[in-house]
Amino acid sequence: MNVENTIWRCARCDVPLIMKKTVFNYLGQSFTHDVPCCPSCGNVLITPELARGKMAQVEEQLEDK
């Protein structure tokens, strides 16, 4: 699956999502990432790319301690 070419839609509103820089707090760590966000209800989509990338990095950092 090519994320770049995917147009995400909000499951609730059925409108195309826009990319928005969002701050996440995960396992006590915070990071910012551009994620698809619904302009209508503010629902943020966690893409597989984000879950495997940033969140995995956070988990690795915690394991190193």
What does the binding site for Zn ion look like in residue numbers (CB under 5 A)? 10, 12-13, 38, 40-41, 43
Residue 9 DSSP symbol: B
For the CB of residue 14, give the shortest distance to Zn ion in the complex, in Å: 8
**Which amino acid would we find at residue 28?**
G
- Per-residue b or e along 1-13, where b marks 16 or more CB atoms closer than 10 Å to that residue's CB: eeeeeeebebeee
Residue 39 or 53 having the CB closest to Zn ion = 39
Of 14 and 64, CB closest to Zn ion: 14
Closer to Zn ion by Cβ: residue 9 or 33: 9
